[in-house]
Amino acid sequence: MQAKLTAEFIGTLWLVLGGCGSAVLAAAFPEVGIGLLGVSLAFGLTVLTMAYAIGHISGCHLNPAVTLGLVAGGRFPAGEAVPYIVAQVAGAVAGAAILYLIASGKAGFDLSAGFASNGYGDHSPGKYGMMSGLVTEVAMTFFFLFVILGATHGRAPAGFAPIAIGLCLTLIHLISIPVTNTSVNPARSTGPAIFVGGWALAQLWLFWIAPIAGAVLAGLVYRSLSPDREADIEGAPRGAEIRAAE
């Protein structure tokens, strides 16, 4: 278990440092800014690369919503969920701390610019309201988990799950960055919000509730639809666990 939790900590740190770091440091860099497309790809690449690095150790969840969605889908033991979530949030905070140390070295750095935090209303990149943010986060996380469960199914093509999952996360960001700055991950939202404080912490509730609701719903739906459902994790071989996810 210690190895799994350490892997989740490192993996989630990389997700925040790589994904949020691309938004804070590179999205609008003069003349060579990577923009929305680049940030979307960066988030997908963090998951894809870390899935190959630690998928065989912890399953590479990197996301409390993914962990709980896998519990609902019968792919992960409920008794391990809380330690995983603690490790993921700790990793996200550590990733945000490293990013802060880097970003604050630039003259004129200001946390009020958002620090890649998620938000709605005045703090949505496109000024979308709370209901739009709620629906977006539930829907995007639902489909993220649906793809994860399908790509890691025992009868799916072996070895390709990280690619499908990473590209799915890229697509999700392309759709939803204008609405909420894209969360689909409570840990990813928590790390930057702790440093921004104020409005980011006040709106953080949505980025816990909505992704978890979407993920759990996806787990239940996929479990009911799968034509040859794998046994619940308690009775399944370890190979039936997820091998790659955000």
Q: Given a cut of 80, is residue 242 above it in pLDDT?
A: no
Residue 157: per-residue pLDDT: 79
Residue 142 tokens read as: 């639902």
**Could you read off the pLDDT of 54-72 as tens digits, one per residue?**
999 999 999 999 999 999 9
Of the chain, the end-to-end C-alpha distance in Å amounts to 19
Q: In this structure, is residue 245 part of a structural domain?
A: no
Identify residue 223 by its one-letter amino acid code: R
Residue 219 tokens read as: 């787990």
Q: In this structure, is residue 244 part of a structural domain?
A: no
Looking up residue 218, the CATH number of its domain turns out to be 1.20.1080.10
Tally the domains of the chain: 1
Give the pTM: 0.88
**Could you read off the pLDDT of 179-222 as tens digits, one per residue?**
999 999 999 999 999 999 999 999 999 999 999 999 999 999 99
Q: Could you list the residue range(s) of the whole structural domain that residue 28 is in?
A: 1-102+115-225
Q: In this structure, is residue 167 part of a structural domain?
A: yes
Contact 220, 62 (CB under 8 A): no
Q: In this structure, is residue 189 part of a structural domain?
A: yes
Identify residue 84 by its one-letter amino acid code: Y
Give the distance, in angstroms, between the CA of residue 11 and the centroid of all CA atoms in the same chain: 11
What does the angle CA 46 – CA 145 – CA 233 come to, to the nearest 5 degrees?
A: 105
Mean pLDDT of 147-152: 93
Q: In this structure, is residue 230 part of a structural domain?
A: no
CA-wise closest residue to 12 among 238, 189, 206: 189
Residue 102 tokens read as: 């880097």
CA-wise closest residue to 196 among 119, 120, 117: 117
Q: In this structure, is residue 242 part of a structural domain?
A: no
CB under 8 Å to 198, separation ≥6 — which residues?
A: none
Residue 49 tokens read as: 């690369």
Residue 165: count other Cβ atoms within 10 Å of its Cβ. 28
* Residue 82 banded pLDDT, cuts 50, 70, 90: very high
Q: In this structure, is residue 234 part of a structural domain?
A: no
Q: In this structure, is residue 1 part of a structural domain?
A: yes
